[in-house]
């Protein structure tokens, strides 16, 4: 997921996507333990996507707080 795609998502969609990606990360970890994982790079990509989404969520929260404080 690219940063431009994340900027277009609503707050609710970001929350849903974070939950989906965390579930995917859990599934990848489970596959890794059972040695059924094919592409180990998916693990890193998923973690980066989660971080990208959480960063955008936090930026929006900071902007909302700064607007309310004015």
The domain limits of the chain are 3-69
Quote the CA–CA distance of 14 and 57 in Å, as a whole number: 7
Per-residue pLDDT tens, the chain, 70 aa: give them: 788 899 999 999 999 999 999 999 999 888 888 888 788 888 899 999 999 999 999 999 999 999 987 6
**pLDDT for 70:** 66
The whole-angstrom distance between residue 35's C-alpha and the CA centroid of its chain comes to 25
In CATH terms, the fold of domain 3-69 is: Helix Hairpins (1.10.287)
Phi, psi of 9 (to 5 degrees): -75, 150
Quote the CA–CA distance of 43 and 57 in Å, as a whole number: 22
Quote the CA–CA distance of 57 and 41 in Å, as a whole number: 25
Q: How many CB atoms lie within 10 A of CB 21?
A: 21
pTM recorded for the entire structure: 0.86
């Amino acid at each position: 997921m690219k940063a431009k795609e994340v900027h277009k998502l609503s707050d609710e969609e970001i929350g849903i996507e974070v939950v989906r990606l965390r579930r995917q990360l859990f599934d990848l970890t489970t596959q890794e333990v059972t040695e059924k994982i094919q592409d180990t790079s998916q693990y890193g990509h998923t973690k980066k996507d989660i971080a990208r989404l959480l960063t955008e969520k936090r930026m929006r929260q900071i902007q909302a707080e700064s607007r309310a404080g004015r």
